Structure 1
Amino acid sequence: MKILLPTSTAGSLPKPSWLAQPETLWSPWKLQDEELIDGKQDALRLCLQDQLQAGIDIVSDGEQTRQHFVTTFIEHLSGVDFEKRETVRIRNRYDASVPTVVGAVSRQKPVFVEDAKFLRQQTKQPIKWALPGPMTMIDTLYDSHYKSREKLAWEFAKILNQEAKELEAAGVDIIQFDEPAFNVFFDEVNDWGIAALERAVEGLKCETAVHICYGYGIKANTDWKKTLGTEWRQYEEIFPKLQKSSIDIISLECQNSRVPMDLIELIRGKKVMVGAIDVATHNIETPEEVADTLRKALQFVDADKLYPSTNCGMTPLPRRVARGKLNALSLGAHIVRKELSNK
């Protein structure tokens, strides 16, 4: 029985305080060796429990086993030197010290596959797994080898495809690629970014998603948002080409954002993961507020293609707040489901 308006999260959920510093991005681990492996699995189980208790339909690992949504994947690849760091401008917004690509990049072993198998053993619910997209990966590195953003993106796309195929074999139902960089480098997205993403999903039979957001609720992002004016029309630049792409689901930010809802019309025919939870505030939405966002979205996307979700990841939020938001998402979707079935 396929459920209408299946709920999910866009990515990360808060980690328990015994595993990592709460409400902090890139927080270092508090455990090591065997204890760290056990601790990550315990956190994964707790995070799954929180989602199931809240009634989330498509569950995830909440990124409990990774420090960061991009670099944790890159750490497992050869050709990148984490000791050799350079400062680069990330998504034209803030400076960060990043590792350097020093040689040909390749994947010697699976990165998240064991974690995915572990999650699969714990639940019968559909599972969504997030990977960084090729363009967002190159935007988080200093490249002294390929000297071409496009060349490096194609290499990463091949590597991501290897990982994605093994995740699919481990029982993952939806593989999501996080591409916040798609909101910034429009020409590159249209020239080769979407093509590189399609290379990453080549040959997959499971559903594929691309998540394009305005970032975590951190200062660099909230400051940037203030410069975008009253209407955020970034999606307009890339949606027409994404609509023609082979990606199944497009995940975007709607709650408390200045994205005009009618832009969703540009991806008509695709499944749409509608962000109905604002991750940049500690205020917990009411189910009615969530329902209202979903109703607005339903003007531009068919009900059988609407997937209520969060705007972005929730790592920086207190666990209590994240749990409250998951409950609101679930209850809000339930309200609209009921309205639809009464029609």
Structure 2
Amino acid sequence: MAKAHILGFPRIGAQRELKFAVESFWRGDTDLTALQETGKTLRQRHWTVQADAGLDFVSVGDFAWYDQVLNTLALLGAVPTRFKFDPKKLTLADYFTLARGNPEHFAMEMTKWFDTNYHYLVPEFTADVRFDGGVDWLFEENAEAVALGHKTKVTLVGPLTLLYLGKIKSGITNKLDLLPKVIAGYQNVLQRLQAAGVEWVQIDEPILALELAAVWRNAFAPTYEVLSTAAPKLLLATYFDQVREHTALLHRLPVTGVHLDLVRGAGQLDDFLQDWPQDRVLSAGIVDGRNIWRADLDAALAALQPLQEKLGDKLWVSASCSLLHVPVDLANENKLDEELKGWLSFATQKTHEITAIKRALNGEKNAVAAQFNAAALAVAARNTSPRIHNPLVQKRLSEINKISAARNNVFADRIVKQQARFNLPAFPTTNIGSFPQTTDIRQARAQYKRGEIGHLDYLNKMRDEVRLVVQKQEEIGLDVLVHGEPERNDMVEYFGEQLWGYGFTANGWVQSYGSRCVKPPFIYGDVYRPEAMTVGWSEFAQSLTSKPMKGMLTGPVTMLQWSFVRDDQPRDTTALQIALALRDEVVDLEKAGIGMIQIDEPAFREGLPLKAADWPHYLDWAVKAFRISASGVRDDTQIHTHMCYSEFNDILPWIAAMDADVITIETSRSDMELLDGFGEFAYPNDIGPGVYDIHSPRVPRVEEMQRLLRKARGVIPDAQLWVNPDCGLKTRGWPETTAALENMVLAARTLRAEVAAQQ
């Protein structure tokens, strides 16, 4: 009989309970006991969801207070040694310090989890890092689930993925030199789980979806030969792409089962079925774990029936990857358009889809006939709905080749005109975009949405916030200002609400990092801009100052990547539709007198396929989409873009091809390491490397930012160098924001004086 399971469940709670509990603990409003009780309540609730759906196991180890990679480091005792914490005595307060920093230590570096919008904390490897055991949270949570009567499957980030994703900080030259210590650490964990009666452990090795060097491929067999002895049954999970090039390797690894992503790795099944070991489980990730469209149950069943005939009880049915990347429960969407709601499926619903497929495979098709019929009707309704296509958009897209994707002149000519227009000092200072979203702002937005205040009252409240932001920036002494974005709930959702073809949820939250949650819109049809979206706000803000005011937009690739995207047409088609809508907005901003326009693309690197062979196609259309959005302006209008929390060095030619006049990037957590590639590449346009980390409440000292700026000067010519934070300041409070920006401006002014004295 086939079995049903998932690789992981969202941990934040349907109403973001974990977020609010963690932030309350950080503020000191609640104690450790209250925080732990919230975590326990959420774990038990999520296990109940899985058990009630009919899954054969509940997932243990997918819960994390901040990040699953940090949890793994805490479990192994491999926390960064620079914090000087005793790994075996690590407290939750210590754990959060690793993630957020403190006055003495900057936070651990954070970057994107493969090609998702989830961010993980990057392991730090030094000669003295330990793997000899840390906290007991995983073992306690498994005992908690067992005591409730659940059959558990424990989930771990795999040893080779953990090593691969980390960074060497000192004392070693090759990460694989640490492998013996890592294996010993995992052995200890697996032996303890076996002693606790755990039957199955899922070990996630998503790096197998990458194009691995031979030295990493060759490390798998000896690693798992050791781990498979004196251990529970091991299910090695791959996801996010096909892994057919590792077919032979995965056939011979001494594991009890392998999970395959059959959504992003469609077509790889035949390779694996050939000579598949008869005693090995194959977990089929047939339900999309990264998108919210309702599953076509008939199609899934048809795909798996031949597999069932071959594998029998060795077939497991699952989602393609962890459900971490989708919202918790569609049942909470009481205000969503009923037609659109019928097309969707969140994590809770996906557990029922998985078990329905399992039951149908096991001869219980009649028992789930109603579920299959409802799914078929929903899929057919979506495919034939007139809401999907817009003739105006289709016509314009067919004529897109008539639109120039290039600026009128090259950057060297444009920058001369821009310098004459703006007359900025050396090392100009600016903010990336948002300023603190205070309680007053959030309350006003909530009151407006509930109809408790009228449009004019809300408009006036937001204008007061813009006045405050402009005043504070002028007092601080920033050279280029922003309006602060008080009217925006989210950098994608705000624009999506004003574009046709986008749908929205009330509670469709997913975790981005730590306590930061986002509510991605979903793109169900052709995208069209019916009217201007930001012009009024930018005009008003510019009227308050004589300094340049940046118009702020979210770029087409990020609008795509940070939405749940329609799956009935190629992603590049949807991206170009968004680019055309944004192009109209950029042109309207210029007509309104806005001389600097920032088109943020923090998700540009995130969208890169995991296989290098697939890069050129993506990069070509991604660059084209950005250039279409930005190319309709005069030479003296300065186009900015922003990118963050990704590695950029391998795609620098394409970033340069975007031809933004100014790019700002996150670099502070990496101590300017990310900037080295821009220097080696001789990046031709202006660049602003972030000089302080906005995801930590820590206020950096002037000397720290001066040190980073001096490092930046070592790789970037002075004439091209801007000064700015890593990212927007939406999540920060005003006291720390003001103090940090004042230090940043002082650091820039000191640098100007030093350079002037040298000339």
Scaled by the length of structure 1, the TM-score of the pair is 0.86
- Look up the equivalent residue of 2:696 and give its one-letter code: T
Greater share of residues in helix: 2
Per-residue CA deviation, residues 302-343 of structure 1 (Å, 9 max, x unaligned), is 111111011001111111111111111111100101011111
Per-residue CA deviation, residues 17-44 of structure 1 (Å, 9 max, x unaligned), is 32226xxxxx954453221100110000
Which fold has the larger relative contact order, with Cα–Cα distance below 8 Å and residues 6 or more apart in sequence? 1
Instruction: Specify the alignment match of 1:196 in structure 2.
Output: 625
2:496 corresponds to 1:79: no
Aligned residues of 1:12 and 1:314 also touching (Cα < 8 A): yes
Q: Which residues in structure 2 correspond to 1:173-212 (within 5 Å)? A: 173-186=595-608, 187=615, 190-205=619-634, 206-212=637-643
DSSP 3-state at the match of 1:283: coil
User: Following TM superposition, by how much is the alpha carbon of 1:86 offset from its aligned partner in structure 2, in angstroms?
Assistant: 7.2
81-90 or 97-106: bigger deviation: 81-90
Instruction: Specify the alignment match of 1:70 in structure 2.
Output: 492
Size of the aligned set, in residue pairs, is 318
User: Following TM superposition, by how much is the alpha carbon of 1:288 offset from its aligned partner in structure 2, in angstroms?
Assistant: 1.8
Aligned residues of 1:12 and 1:64 also touching (Cα < 8 A): yes
Greater share of residues in strand: 1
Identity over aligned residues, as a percent?
A: 26
- Look up the equivalent residue of 1:209 and give its one-letter code: H
DSSP 3-state at the match of 2:655: helix
Aligned residues of 1:79 and 1:105 also touching (Cα < 8 A): yes
5-14 or 167-176: bigger deviation: 167-176
- Would you identify which runs of 4 or more consecutive aligned residues in structure 1 move more than 4 Å? 83-91, 94-97
DSSP 3-state at the match of 2:722: strand
2:649 corresponds to 1:236: yes
User: Following TM superposition, by how much is the alpha carbon of 1:286 offset from its aligned partner in structure 2, in angstroms?
Assistant: 1.6
2:659 corresponds to 1:249: no
DSSP 3-state at the match of 1:20: helix
Task: Determine which of 547, 556, 566 is the counterpart of 1:125.
Answer: 547
DSSP 3-state at the match of 2:633: coil
5+ unaligned residues in a row in structure 2: which ranges? 1-422, 609-614
Per-residue CA deviation, residues 38-65 of structure 1 (Å, 9 max, x unaligned), is 0110000101111111100000011122
Aligned partners of 1:82 and 1:262: how far apart in 2? 40
2:264 corresponds to 1:264: no
Aligned partners of 1:84 and 1:13: how far apart in 2? 24
Task: Determine which of 279, 293, 296 is the counterpart of 2:694.
Answer: 279
Q: Which residues in structure 2 correspond to 1:9-24 (within 5 Å)? A: 9-20=431-442
Per-residue CA deviation, residues 48-90 of structure 1 (Å, 9 max, x unaligned), is 1111111000000111221111110110011222259978897
Q: Cα gap change, 1:95/1:158 in structure 2, threshold over 3 Å: closer, same or farther?
A: same
User: Following TM superposition, by how much is the alpha carbon of 1:179 offset from its aligned partner in structure 2, in angstroms?
Assistant: 1.4
DSSP 3-state at the match of 2:553: strand
Aligned partners of 2:424 and 2:518: how far apart in 1? 43
User: Following TM superposition, by how much is the alpha carbon of 1:250 offset from its aligned partner in structure 2, in angstroms?
Assistant: 1.4
DSSP 3-state at the match of 1:122: coil
Aligned partners of 2:506 and 2:436: how far apart in 1? 30
Aligned partners of 1:241 and 1:90: how far apart in 2? 26
259-268 or 33-42: bigger deviation: 259-268
Q: Cα gap change, 1:96/1:275 in structure 2, threshold over 3 Å: closer, same or farther?
A: closer
Per-residue CA deviation, residues 264-318 of structure 1 (Å, 9 max, x unaligned), is 2125221001211210111111222112111111112111111101100111111
Aligned partners of 2:447 and 2:713: how far apart in 1? 44
Aligned residues of 1:86 and 1:142 also touching (Cα < 8 A): no
Aligned partners of 2:559 and 2:657: how far apart in 1? 23
DSSP 3-state at the match of 1:284: coil
Q: Cα gap change, 1:119/1:189 in structure 2, threshold over 3 Å: closer, same or farther?
A: farther
Task: Determine which of 557, 577, 590 is the counterpart of 1:155.
Answer: 577
Scaled by the length of structure 2, the TM-score of the pair is 0.40
Aligned residues of 2:598 and 2:640 also touching (Cα < 8 A): yes
DSSP 3-state at the match of 1:45: helix
5+ unaligned residues in a row in structure 1: which ranges? 22-26, 215-231
Per-residue CA deviation, residues 208-264 of structure 1 (Å, 9 max, x unaligned), is 1220012xxxxxxxxxxxxxxxxx7x1112212222332211111122325513112
Aligned partners of 2:719 and 2:473: how far apart in 1? 22
Instruction: Specify the alignment match of 1:103 in structure 2.
Output: 525
Aligned residues of 1:252 and 1:274 also touching (Cα < 8 A): yes
Aligned residues of 2:562 and 2:603 also touching (Cα < 8 A): no
Q: Cα gap change, 1:324/1:88 in structure 2, threshold over 3 Å: closer, same or farther?
A: closer
Q: Cα gap change, 1:28/1:331 in structure 2, threshold over 3 Å: closer, same or farther?
A: same
Aligned residues of 2:690 and 2:725 also touching (Cα < 8 A): yes
Aligned partners of 1:101 and 1:326: how far apart in 2? 37
